[in-house]
Structure 1
């Protein structure tokens, strides 16, 4: 089978497509024939060496976190899914390995694919969808009539965060680039700000939650936008940010929280049900596995709306 690996940290040029044996599922594992894998910013942060404290420095390493595919076979103790089931799921965020023709996973790492979604759409859901779900429901605990600012609202997480916040009854202000204004309105944002035309730090409004998905808004700057008892959430899980969060939250009413995605079968099932109902999944571009370097090079430049996906034929 084909698999994307890398043998040293670096840019997308370190990624290589190799041939490996198809893995055999253990008793409690499921073998999945992968149909599509989504691209996440965490991917290039890991293979770029930014997250080596979490990922380790032992090579070779693999790429790809979330995926959609078809169950090929199961170990004797894995009885929840049968051959032919269409599923979505995710692997360890710091180890990856989904960018391959086949993967083996625990049953708790997958859920049935939404019946109305393509494999490409389904692959775009797990990591960013779970991230949005955990941000909105856990870290920010968004409720009815709360005022929420989402900075970077047209990225992979933002697409879902806007929609989920509205489902919870929040009053949502989305910060986007010019090209994302119309779509953010379509997802239900009450107010849409174009950051190329308006400096959000000059806003008079104060928010119950400020969610930064761009990793460009600092906690110091965000404080000017926060109510006295508000929360700032960042996806930048750097060690220094985690330490700062701990000490800040001991003494300040304005909380700093860091997203560290926790895989959840229940969360995946919730997202799949929402997608079958009305949760919009937005695809930016699809690539073949042979275009893996091009895919990561283009996607890492940013300015895309939604998720880019690699399709395995």
Structure 2
């Protein structure tokens, strides 16, 4: 089967289409014929070697963690899905595994039946950002109608889920996005918007109970200027150093930085599927064919798009 892999850390040029044997499945696994894979920032952070402390340096490595497809075979102990089911899911170890290829063997506990109302590309866009959005809600903590939350870089996949989920809680949301994305973030639930090409949210004079920095460009030290005395800054794309040092630093400050590490599980996915059934929107602004996987990653890494970017495989 054909799959996308790389033999060294680097830019999109290191991505190669290679032939590999068809995966074999264990008793608790399923074989999925991949229909679509969505792109997440972690994909290129891993490929560039930014997470090598966790991913290791053994090659070849594969890319792409969130997928949708059709069950082609099931292991002897699998009972939650059967051959022919349309599913979506994620890999067991997102630091070391990737599924951007024609088939993948994954644990049956990490695949879920695809909601009928959405297509494969939309389904592949759910697991990582959806789980992260629910985790962010938890870390933001108890909110009221007077709570003010700032989402920086709100127009991507994470922001798409988080805005719509926060809207259900009735908090006051300010979303920072580019001009072309303002209508989307308003539609998803923002009460007010900041066009970062025209305004600097750090100098507007407003303060917030929680800041979620989805762009990774604000940073905690800048965010402190617009955080209330007891507030949280949520960092969803931490470096290994952030992961190690943040808990210690938080012991000495009232404005907390929270490193967000989330893993999709059944409870999380059930909540997301229920939200989708109740009208939560999934915007996939650009879809590339498998043969243009390099171009897909180059496009995604530039940023500036709305919602998710995905690759269709079969």
Q: Given the two structures, how large is their TM-score scaled by the length of structure 1?
A: 0.97
Instruction: Spell out, residue by residue over 1:28-50, the C-alpha distance to the aligned partner (whole angstroms, 9 max, x if none).
Output: 11111110000111111101111
Instruction: Give the C-alpha shift of residue 80 in structure 1.
Output: 1.0
In structure 1, the partner of 2:76 is: 76
Whole-angstrom distance in 1 between the partners of 2:188 and 2:298: 28
In structure 2, the partner of 1:2 is: 2
In structure 2, the partner of 1:38 is: 38
Partner secondary structure for residue 300 of structure 1: helix
C-alpha contact (below 8 Å) 2:64/2:99 kept by paired residues: yes
1:201-212 equivalence runs, <5 A = 201-212=202-213
Partner secondary structure for residue 274 of structure 2: helix
Instruction: Give the C-alpha shift of residue 276 in structure 1.
Output: 1.9
Gap runs ≥5 in structure 2: none
Whole-angstrom distance in 2 between the partners of 1:270 and 1:86: 19
Whole-angstrom distance in 1 between the partners of 2:207 and 2:20: 54
Whole-angstrom distance in 2 between the partners of 1:247 and 1:88: 37
- After superposing on structure 2, the runs of 4+ consecutive aligned residues of structure 1 that deviate more than 4 Å are none
Partner secondary structure for residue 269 of structure 1: helix
C-alpha contact (below 8 Å) 1:112/1:269 kept by paired residues: no
Instruction: Spell out, residue by residue over 1:159-204, the C-alpha distance to the aligned partner (whole angstroms, 9 max, x if none).
Output: 1111111112211100001111111111111011101111111122
In structure 1, the partner of 2:148 is: 147
Whole-angstrom distance in 1 between the partners of 2:121 and 2:244: 37
RMSD of equivalent CA atoms: 1.2
In structure 1, the partner of 2:172 is: 171
C-alpha contact (below 8 Å) 1:142/1:165 kept by paired residues: no
Whole-angstrom distance in 2 between the partners of 1:144 and 1:77: 46
Whole-angstrom distance in 1 between the partners of 2:23 and 2:245: 42
In structure 2, the partner of 1:85 is: 85
In structure 2, the partner of 1:309 is: 310
1:189 paired with 2:190, answer: yes
1:62 paired with 2:62, answer: yes
C-alpha contact (below 8 Å) 2:51/2:240 kept by paired residues: no
- Aligned pair count? 312
Whole-angstrom distance in 2 between the partners of 1:243 and 1:20: 37
Instruction: Give the C-alpha shift of residue 142 in structure 1.
Output: 5.1
Instruction: Give the C-alpha shift of residue 226 in structure 1.
Output: 1.0
Partner secondary structure for residue 129 of structure 2: helix
1:1-313 equivalence runs, <5 A = 1-91=1-91, 92-136=93-137, 138-141=138-141, 143-145=143-145, 146-313=147-314
Instruction: Give the C-alpha shift of residue 250 in structure 1.
Output: 1.0
Q: 1:187 to 1:19 in 2, by over 3 A?
A: same
C-alpha contact (below 8 Å) 2:38/2:125 kept by paired residues: yes
Whole-angstrom distance in 1 between the partners of 2:278 and 2:14: 40
C-alpha contact (below 8 Å) 2:182/2:193 kept by paired residues: yes
Instruction: Spell out, residue by residue over 1:185-228, the C-alpha distance to the aligned partner (whole angstroms, 9 max, x if none).
Output: 11111011101111111122211110000000111111111111
Instruction: Give the C-alpha shift of residue 240 in structure 1.
Output: 2.1
Whole-angstrom distance in 2 between the partners of 1:142 and 1:108: 31
Q: Given the two structures, how large is their TM-score scaled by the length of structure 2?
A: 0.96
Whole-angstrom distance in 1 between the partners of 2:294 and 2:189: 35
